[in-house]
Amino acid sequence: MTRLWYGGDYNPDQWDLSVWKDDVELMRQAGVNLVTVGVFSWSSLEPSPGEYEFGWLDQVLDLLHAGGVSVDLATPTASPPPWFSRLHPEALPVTPDGVRLTHGSRDTYCACAPAYRSAAVGIARALVNRYDNHPALAMWHVHNEYGSVCYCSLAAERFRDWLRERYGSLDRLNTAWTTAFWSQGYADWQDIQPPRRTQYLVNPTQFLDYRRFWSDELLKAFLEQKAEIRERSSLPITTNFVFGGWVPVNHAQWASAVDIVAIDHYPSQTDLGAEEQTAFGADLARSWAGGKPWLLMEQAAGTLNDGQRLHAKEPGRMARHSLSHIARGSNGALFFQWRASRGGSEMYHSALVPHAGASSRLFREVTDLGSVLPRLGEVADSKVVAEVAVLWDVECWWAMQGTHLPSSSLDYLAAVQDAHRHFWRAGVTVDFAPPSADLSSYKLVVVPSLYLISDEAAASLAAYVEGGGQLVVGYFSGIVDPDVQVRLGGYPGAFRSLLGVRVEEFHPLPEDGVVELSSGGQGRLWSEDVEAVSAEVVDRYVGGVLDGKPAITRRQVGAGTAWYVSTSLDSETAAGIFGLSPSAVETVRRRTNSGDGDGDTTWTFLFNHGDAEVVVPADGVELISGVKVDGELSLPGGGYAVVRSP
């Protein structure tokens, strides 16, 4: 592939024919080459049960094709029409409180309801039967942002099936769930329920298993649609991954089921944090894709949503975010949505064509970016270069979302973001890696708060160190096994011998509390009463009840080194310890993968996140301007460049 995708979700059913024609013309102006069509069109495509109306979609696809715009055709199964919930009220989702939700928004279905599953495959079949040969089609897009959870009795039945498969016997389940506590021993599979609202704290393993189950069940639902489409079509099939605290989907596991890893990405911060979140999201997507190219399926063109307000993106920011994704492996930059809705719940969600119309700064920037991307087509499918890995494990995240932890400040995602930020601020590119990955290619591996870890993953990390790796393990790691049972004998159980430390007691810090370190740095959130059994002490706590006790340790293991950091470091302290210096310029490298490294082409993406001009060393050709760079390149404040070196 030597081009990058550019475009976004297109919802023509909100408009009439005259607008469609304008749209295709504007897409052409803007350089759009891919639109996702039909994500929310079920009620337009099948307005009443079994009666399909494809005419409008035929016309739209023809117009797009004529305009040179490819189509990512979506199955509209994330939002069944109102008639569906009237005919199948049992397929409406139920909250942990037992409230059965009503349609009138989106995602009002239970993925475990047979009626829903069958209807979803049905509408997918109808679409592939009609459009498998349409020349506009470039790929298939199943569903939208899989994630919504349900706690109904149909879900309970599937959960029991899943548990039977996982545990084989009730004895094994009772042991894994520690049901002897609080008299929860199960004598009959029928007695097991989803973690609905109960009197007091929920069983933490039941809680985690429900998240595991739901991810697996949604994956089955996806695979059913995929199989249906694959029968007639050989085009790539994808779905857009969405990442948020509420989504029980194991994207790393799902990645092997999609032909293209695609993500939606909406930063929630409005300052430089948005750039950092962009890097984080893109690095995560690349890790899910196993380092291979992936696709940014959705972002917002003009706004950053902090949860309370839509902050207008400053001039140039849309392009910078888009290039940041591409620098990190995305084969394009797509948006939700093409044209801003006139009404409906997301009428203020920004779009490539805003309410003000094409005569607007925003659309002019869209057009500018559309003119730049073709010059970068050569980077498509190349690999991103990283020498540092941060571990990420969704099961650990889920386990830490339970209600049983020793501090409400423990936050897996935040710990991983902290680690990522330490490197991002220094302009260092990191990969994320799953716990059992082969890490031998990395110089440094960071393991933030890996609360839950399997024996296999612990062995893999030990082998990495033995083989010469530098491993940094963060606080509250290695505590429990995959059954959420403590590894006894002293924390951090799974890492105790590797790190040469033993912790008897946790010392959570008060909210906003800090603890001083002898190096002059500071810890936050958490501290531990560390005994350096066979490790060297790198830093110590100063003051308080842990005064003089080890805070950071290091142990030589084979050819490598294993560090333990028993508190949450601020970025300055972390930078000091890991030898990172702050850099206003972020540098990300992509490289061809010719087999032997010698003749590889390298593309260096440079982003100046500061306000002042910076001069950086560079050689080659700057692709956006087409100008030859010889030794150094000047980047204005907020500027960016892409330099190809042979």
Find the shortest distance in angstroms from Cβ 52 to a copy of itself. 13
DSSP string, 520-536: S-EEESEEEEEEESSSE
Question: How big is the site for a copy of itself, counted in residues (CB under 8 A)?
Answer: 113
Using the rule CB under 8 A, is 309 a contact of a copy of itself? yes
DSSP string, 365-387: HHHHHHHHGGGGGGGTTPEEP-S
Using the rule CB under 8 A, is 408 a contact of a copy of itself? yes
Parallel, antiparallel, or unpaired: how do β-strands 383-384 and 585-591 relate?
antiparallel
Residue ranges in 69-108 that form contacts with a copy of itself under rule CB under 8 A: 76, 79-83, 85-86, 93, 97-108
Check whether 487 is labelled as a binding-site residue: no
Active-site residue, from 145, 378, 586, 622? 145
Decide whether 406 or 468 has the Cβ nearer to a copy of itself.
406
Find the shortest distance in angstroms from Cβ 199 to a copy of itself. 4
Using the rule CB under 8 A, is 522 a contact of a copy of itself? no
Decide whether 422 or 487 has the Cβ nearer to a copy of itself.
487
Q: Which of the ranges 172-180, 218-226, 430-438, 469-477 carries the binding residues for a copy of itself, by CB under 8 A?
A: 172-180
Using the rule CB under 8 A, is 611 a contact of a copy of itself? no
Find the shortest distance in angstroms from Cβ 573 to a copy of itself. 22
Q: Which of 416, 265, 401 is nearest to 326 (CA)?
A: 265
Active-site residue, from 217, 228, 276, 298? 298
Beta-carbon contacts of 253 under 8 Å, excluding residues fewer than 6 positions away, are 215, 219
Site string for a copy of itself, 179-208 (x = CB under 8 A): xxxxxxxxxx-xxxx-xxxxxxxxxxxx--
Rounded CA-CA distance 17/19 in Å is: 5
Find the shortest distance in angstroms from Cβ 529 to a copy of itself. 7
Beta bridge partners of 323: none
Residue ranges in 491-520 that form contacts with a copy of itself under rule CB under 8 A: 491, 502-508, 510-511
Decide whether 200 or 630 has the Cβ nearer to a copy of itself.
200
Among 126, 235, 312, 614, binds a copy of itself (CB under 8 A): 312
Beta bridge partners of 192: none
Question: What is the three-class DSSP state of 467?
Answer: coil
Q: Which of the ranges 284-292, 359-367, 372-380, 624-632 carries the binding residues for a copy of itself, by CB under 8 A?
A: 359-367
> 112-129 burial by CB neighbour count: b if 16+ within 10 A, else e?
bbebbbebbbebbbbbbe
> Does 622 participate in catalysis according to the annotation?
no
> Does 51 participate in catalysis according to the annotation?
no
Using the rule CB under 8 A, is 366 a contact of a copy of itself? no
Residue ranges in 251-280 that form contacts with a copy of itself under rule CB under 8 A: 270
Rounded CA-CA distance 265/283 in Å is: 12
Q: Which of 327, 300, 552, 296 is nearest to 429 (CA)?
A: 327
Residue ranges in 331-350 that form contacts with a copy of itself under rule CB under 8 A: 340-348
Among 269, 409, 460, 519, binds a copy of itself (CB under 8 A): 409
Q: Is residue 222 classed exposed, middle or buried when 0-12, 13-18 and 19+ CB atoms within 10 A define those classes?
A: buried
The residue type at 613 = E
Q: Do 261 and 285 contact (CB within 8 A), yes or no?
A: yes
Q: Do 454 and 398 contact (CB within 8 A), yes or no?
A: no
Using the rule CB under 8 A, is 302 a contact of a copy of itself? yes
Q: Which of the ranges 39-47, 128-136, 592-600, 617-625 carries the binding residues for a copy of itself, by CB under 8 A?
A: 39-47
Find the shortest distance in angstroms from Cβ 400 to a copy of itself. 12
Decide whether 145 or 283 has the Cβ nearer to a copy of itself.
145
Q: Which of the ranges 124-132, 402-410, 438-446, 595-603 carries the binding residues for a copy of itself, by CB under 8 A?
A: 402-410
Residue ranges in 121-160 that form contacts with a copy of itself under rule CB under 8 A: 148
Q: Do 584 and 590 contact (CB within 8 A), yes or no?
A: no
Q: Do 559 and 466 contact (CB within 8 A), yes or no?
A: yes
Check whether 150 is labelled as a binding-site residue: yes
Decide whether 105 or 133 has the Cβ nearer to a copy of itself.
105
Find the shortest distance in angstroms from Cβ 194 to a copy of itself. 8
Check whether 112 is labelled as a binding-site residue: no
DSSP string, 114-142: HHHHHHHHHHHHHHHHHHTT-TTEEEEE-
Q: Which of the ranges 377-385, 435-443, 488-496, 633-641 carries the binding residues for a copy of itself, by CB under 8 A?
A: 488-496
Structure tokens at 639: 């500027």
Q: Residue 180: how many CB atoms within 10 A of its CB?
A: 10
User: Residue 8: what are its φ and ψ, rounded to 5°?
Assistant: 170, -170
Rounded CA-CA distance 380/603 in Å is: 11
Rounded CA-CA distance 85/102 in Å is: 8
Report the binding-site residues.
106, 110, 144, 150, 152
Residues with a known catalytic role = 145, 298
